[in-house]
Amino acid sequence: MAFVVTEPCVGCEYTDCVVVCPCDCFREGEQMLYIAPDACVDCDACRVECPVDAIFHEDNVPEKWIEYVERNREMAAACPPITERKEPLARTEN
């Protein structure tokens, strides 16, 4: 089992989640981040750090975003790792 990045991350790419990941399982796509499911150890650290609530355990992904389970698997295999914080593509309103 693994955590999954879903639609709220599209166009956002906050990286708060990346820096707390103990196993460096995040991958950076052009418009969002992905989690490599084989590297994820289900620690839950990334989920609580996500400011846009885009990360779910794969057993709890909302039905409307269920395709992101497979999309994370596919894209994580094709995208480079990201392990350091960087400026997000967008900012949320406070």
Q: What is the model's pLDDT at position 87?
A: 82
Q: Over the chain, what is the mean pLDDT? A: 92
Domain boundaries, the chain: 3-78
Q: What is the model's pLDDT at position 83?
A: 94
pLDDT at 4 > cutoff 50: yes
* 3-class SS string, the chain: CCEEECHHHCCCCCCHHHHHCCCCCEEECCCCEEECCCCCCCCCHHHHHCCCCCEEEHHHCCHHHCHHHHHHHHHHHHCCECCCCCCCCCCCCC
Q: What is the model's pLDDT at position 67?
A: 98
Percent of the chain residues past pLDDT 90, beyond the cut:
84
42: tokens are: 């289900």
Whether 3 contacts 49, CB under 8 Å: no
Instruction: Give pLDDT tens digits for 39-75.
Output: 999 999 999 999 999 999 999 999 999 999 999 999 9
Candidates 3.40.50.720, 3.40.1230.10, 3.30.70.20, 1.20.140.10; correct CATH number of 3-78?
A: 3.30.70.20
